[in-house]
Structure 1
Amino acid sequence: MEVKIPPCYKASVLKIEGAKHNIYEIEGDGLADEVCYGDLGCFNNVSACHKVAFPPMAPEVMNIQFHLYTQMNPITSVIVDPYVPESLTSTYFHPYLKTVVLIHGWFGIVGGWTDMARDALLQHESVNIIAVDWSIGAGNIIYQRSCQNARVAGKKTALFLKFLHDITGASYSNMHIIGHSLGAHVAGYAGEAQPGIGRITGSDAAGPGFAAFGPECRLDTTDADFVDAIHTDGELLGLGMHRAYAHMDFYPNGGKDQPGCRKPIFLDNGCSHARSVYFLLESILGDACRFKAYPCPNFEEFTAGNCTDCGPSGCPEMGYYSDTYNNRARGTFYLRTNEDSPYCVS
C-alpha cells in the first residue's frame, strides 16, 4: 500500500526486520511517524498511548491465525486463511449461527481458557467458534510492544470478520467477541475497524497502558452494539482496568481483588486477573445458579446494603447472558462470589 506524503514534509524509509512493507518516518510539526501494512492500512503514533515502542510488528511476522471450531469439529481446529475463500467454504462454518471469537492476552496462546470456553460453548449451543492466535505479537517481553501489536491483531481480526461476512453472508450483529486482558483491547480495535459487531465482552481488560487514556486507545462502548465488562483485578497495582468503559460494567467483590486469591506482597500472581475468565466460563453452563448483579454507584454503597433494589431495569446477570438485558439495564453492577468454584452464590 502506497503512503501519500505531503510535499512539505521530508520522508525517509526505515527498514524493520521481517517487514514486507515500507516504514515511513515523517518529519515536521504535527505529523507523527507512520507505518503501513498492506490491506491493514496505516498505524501512527499520534495518540499518547501509541507512542511507546512504536511501530507495531508487521502482520507477516506476527503470523496471526484463525482457528475454527464447530460441533462437527469440536476438538481439532481448521485454520481459516482470510485470503483463501476455499479455506472457509470447505469447513463446517454456518453463517446463520452465532459466531463467538475468543482472543487471548499478553503471553497467551490458543489453548487454556480458550479451549475451556470452546468446550463450554459447544456443549451449550451450536455456534461457530473462532480462536484468534496472535501469540507471536502478544508474547513480547516488552509489554508496550505487545500493546502496539494488539492494534495490528485487532485490524487483522476486523478484516477476518469482514471476510466471513463477504464470503458467507454471516451477520456482524450475530458476532460476539470475547477478549481477556490485552485481548479485550484487540477486540476493541477490531470493533472500531469493523462497525456493526453485535457484542464485545471485556474479561478484565488490561489496565496498564490503557486505563489512563481515552476511547481511541482502548475498548469502549462505540466498538460494538453492546459492550459488557467483568472487572476483577482493578486495584492500583493490578493487571486489570477498574474504570467503567462498557454499557454494563460488572464488579464482582468490588472488582479490585478476588476472595481466595492470596497476595504475596503486592500482586496475587494473576489470580484475580484470571478469575474473570472463570466467572465467564461458569456463567455459560451455570444453569443452577446465575451471577445476579445489583445496580449500584460504588462498592461502598453495595457493602453497606444500600443497593438491594433491582429497580425498573432489573438485575442483570454477569457473564455470558448479560446481553439478555442489553435493551434495558445500563451502568455499574455489583455482586458477591464464593472464594472457590462454584463461584456463583446461590
Structure 2
Amino acid sequence: MWVYKGQACDTFTDLDFHHAIVGTTLDVRLLLYTRANSSCGRLMSHSAPPPELNLTRPTTFIIHGFRPTGSPPNWLEPMVVELLELRDSNVVVVDWNRGAANIDYFRVVRNTRATANNLTAFIRTMEENGASLASIHMIGISLGAHISGFVGADLNGAIGRITGLDAAGPMFAGKPPEDRLDPTDAQFVDVIHTDMDALGLREPLGHIDFYPNGGADQQGCPRTILSGSAYFKCDHQRSVYLFKESLRRTCETRAFPCATYADFMDARCTDCADFGAQGCPVFGYGVVAWKDSLVRLGQSKYFFNTNNKSPYCKTNYRLDIVAWNQEVQWGYITIKMYSKNQSAKATIDHKKLNFAKYTETQLLAQFDRDVTTVEKMSVTFFSSIVLRPKHKLRVLRLRLQRLEGSDRPLCRYDLLLRDKEEITFRPIPCEESNF
C-alpha cells in the first residue's frame, strides 16, 4: 500500500460487474494529486480544501464517464502523471464511479446532475478560499464532458477551460445548450469528436471542435463485432489517447478549419491565414495558445487524420499534379519520401482521383511520420480503370508543399507513371515562375 506523509494513499473506487448489475448509490470522491504526491491520491473533504491543495496554483479536474464494468480507467494514472510533469499544478480526479457503474445507462445519466452539483459546491469553496476560477481546467470524458458543462454553467462560464473528450451522445443529442456542454460554459471550450456516429455527438459543442479522421471511424479500431468489446469502445476511447499523447508533446498535430471532412481530404482547406504567424491550431492540450483567435472566429469544425497507433500525428503536405495524358485517367496515388535514415509514406485513396490533361489536381498528402530532409521520393499510380490494359499517367509537374512551416516546395517534371509501378527520383526546388 502506498503511503503519503504517514497516511495511506486513497485510490479510485474499484468495482466490478456485480456492482453494475445490482446498482450502487452515488458517492463523489475527490482525489488530489500534486508533484509531491503524483502517484498517491489524497481524499479531500468537500467542505474544507486541505493544505496540500495550493490555491495559488492552477487546478485541473479529470472527470470520467460511464463505467459499465465498474473498473478504474486504465488511462487515468498515466494522465495524472503527465499533467503534473507538464505543469506544476493541482490535479483532482473526480471519482463518481459509484454513480457511473451501472448497466442502466439512463440512471447513470441522471446521476450527472448530482455529480455536477457536488463539484460546483467544492469549486465555490475553493473560490472562497482564494482560488481563481479562470485558473481551473476541467477535462471531461464522455458523460464527464457534460458534467463539466453543467458545472461551468452553474459558475456562469467563469471557469478558464473545459476540454470535452468525445462528449456522450445518447440522451444528449439534439438537446438545448443548457442540457449539455456548450461554448458558454467556460472562457474556452475545446472538444474532440471520435465516435460521432455511435457513442459521441456529431454537432459542434465548443469554441473549437476537433474531428480526427472525420470524427467517426478511427484508424486502427476494429470494424466488425467479431473483435468483441473493442468494437464498441475503441473509437470512443480514442479521444482520450489522442489528448493524452498531446501532453507528451512528442510531435504536433495541426488541425485545419473546414466545412466538411470531404473538403478537407480534397485539400480545399489548407489556408491558415486567419491565424497569422501562428498558423493553424495545434490539436490537444496546447490549443489554448490559439484561444483568442478561436473565440473571435466563432464555433467551427477542425479536421486532421491520424496513424492507427501511437505516435498518432501525421505530417501534412499538399500534392499538386498537372497531367498531360491524352485521355482522362482515374486512380489513386501513393507517395514516399526518403532521407538517409528515415522514410515516410502517404496513401491518397479516399476516392478515385481524376487526372485530366493540363488540369492541376490538388491532393492532401498525409505522411505517417516526419522526414526532415527529403533526399529522394517515389510515386506509384494505381489505375481504377480495369477494362483497358497498360494504363499510364503522364505528369507534367508534381509539386509537394509542406503545410506546416515555410519549407520550400519540392518538384519533379515530366514523369511517366505506369500502373502499379513505383517510380523513384530526386526532387528539385520548384520553378514557380513556370506555372
TM-score, structure 1 length as denominator?
A: 0.78
Shift, 1:298, TM fit: 1.1
Equivalent residue letter for 1:284: L
Cα separation, 2, equivalents of 1:80 and 1:89: 7
**What's the counterpart of residue 19 of structure 1?**
none
- Percent identity, aligned pairs only, is 39
Shift, 1:120, TM fit: 0.7
2:211 to 251, 256, 260: 251
**What's the counterpart of residue 162 of structure 1?**
124
Equivalent residue letter for 2:309: D
Question: 1:251–1:335: 8 Å Cα contact kept in structure 2?
Answer: yes
Cα separation, 2, equivalents of 1:320 and 1:256: 21
Shift, 1:122, TM fit: 1.1
* 1:92-135 per-position Cα deviation (integer Å, ceiling 9, x unaligned): 22212110000000016655222121011111121100000111
Cα separation, 2, equivalents of 1:174 and 1:106: 27
Question: 1:109–1:134: 8 Å Cα contact kept in structure 2?
Answer: no
1:187-202 equivalent positions in 2, closer than 5 A? 187-195=148-156, 196-202=158-164
1:99 to 34, 42, 59: 59
Cα separation, 2, equivalents of 1:186 and 1:80: 19
1:150 to 101, 109, 112: 112
2:174 to 202, 212, 216: 212
- 1:136 equivalenced with 2:92 (yes/no): no
Equivalent residue letter for 2:148: A
In structure 2, the gaps of 5 or more residues are: 1-23, 316-435
**What's the counterpart of residue 55 of structure 1?**
none
- 1:226 equivalenced with 2:188 (yes/no): yes
* 1:270-300 per-position Cα deviation (integer Å, ceiling 9, x unaligned): 10100000111010112x4112101111101
**What's the counterpart of residue 323 of structure 1?**
288
Equivalent residue pairs, number: 279
In structure 1, the gaps of 5 or more residues are: 1-59
* 1:50-87 per-position Cα deviation (integer Å, ceiling 9, x unaligned): xxxxxxxxxx941111000000111111111122x2xx
Cα distance, 1:111–1:143 mapped onto 2, change above 3 Å = closer
2:46 to 82, 86, 92: 82
**What's the counterpart of residue 342 of structure 1?**
311
Cα separation, 1, equivalents of 2:126 and 2:76: 20
**What's the counterpart of residue 232 of structure 2?**
269
Shift, 1:311, TM fit: 2.4
**What's the counterpart of residue 295 of structure 1?**
257
Question: 1:104–1:110: 8 Å Cα contact kept in structure 2?
Answer: no
Cα separation, 2, equivalents of 1:109 and 1:67: 17
Cα separation, 1, equivalents of 2:192 and 2:73: 21
| 4+ residue runs over 6 A deviation | none
Mean alpha-carbon deviation: is it higher for 328-337 or for 175-184? 328-337
* 1:23-47 per-position Cα deviation (integer Å, ceiling 9, x unaligned): xxxxxxxxxxxxxxxxxxxxxxxxx
The Cα RMSD (Å) is: 1.7
Q: SS at the partner of 1:333?
A: strand
**What's the counterpart of residue 28 of structure 2?**
64
2:37 to 65, 70, 73: 73
Q: Larger Cα Rg: Structure 1 or Structure 2? A: 2
Question: 1:110–1:133: 8 Å Cα contact kept in structure 2?
Answer: no
* 1:210-260 per-position Cα deviation (integer Å, ceiling 9, x unaligned): 01211111000111111000000011xx11111111100001110011010
Question: 2:44–2:50: 8 Å Cα contact kept in structure 1?
Answer: no
Q: SS at the partner of 2:293?
A: coil
TM-score, structure 2 length as denominator?
A: 0.62
Cα separation, 2, equivalents of 1:119 and 1:345: 25
Cα separation, 2, equivalents of 1:214 and 1:268: 30
* 1:157-209 per-position Cα deviation (integer Å, ceiling 9, x unaligned): 11111111112x11000000000011111111111112211110000000111
**What's the counterpart of residue 245 of structure 2?**
282
- Report which of the two has the higher share of strand: 2
